[in-house]
Chains A and B, each alone.
Chain A
Amino acid sequence: MSVDRHRVENFLYREARLMDQHAYDEWFALWTDDALYWVPCNEDDIDPERHVSIVFENKRGLEDRIARLKSGAAYAQDPKSRLSRVVSNIEIEEVNRSELIVHSTFNVTALRRRRMDTFAGRAIHTLRPDGEDFKIASKKVLLINNDVVINNLTFLI
């Protein structure tokens, strides 16, 4: 498979926009059925069976997350965070027939109730070709502030 860098970039930019816009269903549709969504806690390299994570979810957990956010009773997102994020420094690390591993950095500014927070870090996506598009098989989000107090991370990161 030849990697079209623009297609990878466009995919990550689209994911970023869907997260910024709280487009929950469209974002959820990006994932494979065997998806893993992981935001480690305290440090980047932990054993998720021995150490707590901020998020460690399979497709079912993601579905619950989305269902809750859509329920009208997820008060931590009522009002919603206003979000703007930049995704950059994209590197395609590894290619085989069925998967790409894509590294990127992100910087999210979140405004809620007059408070502006910045969330920054790296993301590691495992993408699988899906026709002309991709699906996310796994996403690991390495927040630089995963070891300090966080007030509200209930939007999509």
Chain B
Amino acid sequence: MATTRNGINYDSLVKDDRVHGRVYTDPAIFEEEMDKIFSRGWVYVGHASEIPRPGDFRCTDIGRQSVIMVRDDDGQVRLLMNRCTHRANAVCQVERGNARMFRCAYHGWTFRNNGELASVTYQDRYDAAFSKEDHGLREVPRVGVYRGFIFGSMSAVGITLDEHLGKRVKEQLDLFIDLSPEGELDVTAGVHKYGYRANWKFQVENSMDGYHGNFVHQSFFENVRRRSGVNLTDMMTSQSLAQTRDLGNGHVMIDFRSYNKARGGRLGAAMPTSESGKAYRDALIAKHGQARTEELLTARGTHLLVFPNLVLIGVQIRIIRPVQTDETEVFLYPAFLKGAPHELNVARLRGHEAFYGPAGGGATDDLEMFERNQIGLSARVDPWLRLGRGLRQQRQDDDGTIVGQITDEVTQRGIWRQWKKLMSQDSAAISVRRRRNGNGTARRAIL
């Protein structure tokens, strides 16, 4: 029975073809999301290339908990809780930097960048039983890395990152990363940060929504058409060969491969005829071979959600940060492709800026939709949001994924199925397990 500590029966709020508006507005549900999705589960934190040298760090959050993502003096990536073990002062005040030590300004305790407590001021007033070894900065209980993508889980138990991602998500991450001729991303181009006054799940769902583009983004597409003669709206009609796909575990994607293939593959057509475009294509073939290069370029355009907070679209790594029921922050990190011509990386950056960021010509209109959503939710005579588009026509693909047409709500249904599964877990069982495992050293998995 899916009733939880709030007395909420999630089966009654999430149906196959609709969700109840309360899932976006109820503060008790938000609190439960912070526990069951953003504490217990795997959450994307950052990319290893953001902290390339020993001592490099970025201060961030997992859910609403302040965390320092740091590379220690031995080169190991760690996720340290940003909280002095003495009286809870935050030991890191800046978003990014390089530090051998984190010193708590309050009473002067000093921690190494691997979290160890290096020194305690006036230690003579603690008795002999006091041990510095017991008072290092606490670590996020589990850390997992897949090809530079760093994830954390606040729970010492639960499925592994490998199980969470599964083969299909790793394949999609590979397609994103291997667009680099060196097979590595360089996430050092800073970050666009925008916010909106609506629930975090609107951004999650919309990132994977192939139905809205021709309406919300018509002003952007019209500029593209006027400039280049290319009509992007063809990709997103109900006749397009592009697809929505449910990869399982809440991970979903918009898949343009069938659309791209029907246009004759992307190897020649999609690449700029410029020198840098040719150089890039040649570098990809040299690294990955002809067939894999074709596969990589055919997959371009993919929108991927790694449940719950990571989205990959175009050049960007997007992190969705819930703040409260009706407030959300979204951070976009453009990723350079290592080994690609500089001009190509610059062109990708300029393309990103045209659509994204707080002054961009595309994503800002999405944010406006989310705020209109949140206003609309106040009208509750009929409280349901409908997600049944393409429900009867969707099918199971050869690889076991569920696939539908791009304008179908396959992706939303995949997100909600996982959401309901996680939210329906028994709260008490989680906290018992957490107590039993304590908060010892992080368990680490490099996949």
Interface residues of A (CB under 8 A from B): 39, 41-42, 46, 49-56, 60-61, 64-65, 67-68, 71-76, 78, 113, 115, 147-154, 157
**Distance between Cα atoms of A152 and B358 in the complex (Å):** 6
- The answer to whether B190 touches A52 (Cβ under 8 A) is yes
11 new A-B pairs (CB below 8 Å) besides A49-B349, A148-B193? A42-B191, A53-B353, A67-B226, A73-B222, A74-B219, A76-B364, A147-B95, A150-B194, A150-B195, A152-B364, A154-B359
- The answer to whether A76 touches B196 (Cβ under 8 A) is no
**Distance between Cα atoms of A113 and B334 in the complex (Å):** 30
27 example contacts (A-B, Cβ-Cβ < 8 A) are as follows A41-B190, A42-B191, A49-B349, A50-B189, A52-B192, A54-B357, A55-B359, A56-B353, A61-B354, A64-B227, A67-B219, A67-B222, A68-B222, A71-B218, A72-B219, A74-B361, A75-B365, A75-B368, A78-B368, A113-B371, A148-B193, A149-B193, A149-B329, A150-B195, A151-B197, A152-B367, A154-B364
**Distance between Cα atoms of A46 and B191 in the complex (Å):** 12
Q: How far is the CB of B300 from chain A (nearest CB, A)?
A: 20
- The answer to whether B367 touches A76 (Cβ under 8 A) is yes
Determine whether B5 belongs to the interface, using a CB cutoff of 8 Å to chain A: no
**Distance between Cα atoms of A67 and B221 in the complex (Å):** 11
- The answer to whether A51 touches B189 (Cβ under 8 A) is yes
**Residues of B with C-beta under 8 A to A71:** 218-219, 222
- The answer to whether B188 touches A151 (Cβ under 8 A) is no
Chain A interface, >50% SS class? loop
Which A residue's beta carbon lies closest to that of B186? A50
**8 Å CB contact of B191 from A52, A65, A113:** A52
- The answer to whether A75 touches B359 (Cβ under 8 A) is no
Given the interface pairs A71-B219, A73-B219, the reply to whether A153 lies near B358 with Cβ below 8 Å is yes
Which B301-354 residues have C-beta < 8 A from chain A?
Answer: 329, 332, 334, 342, 346, 349-350, 352-354
**Residues of A with C-beta under 8 A to B95:** 147
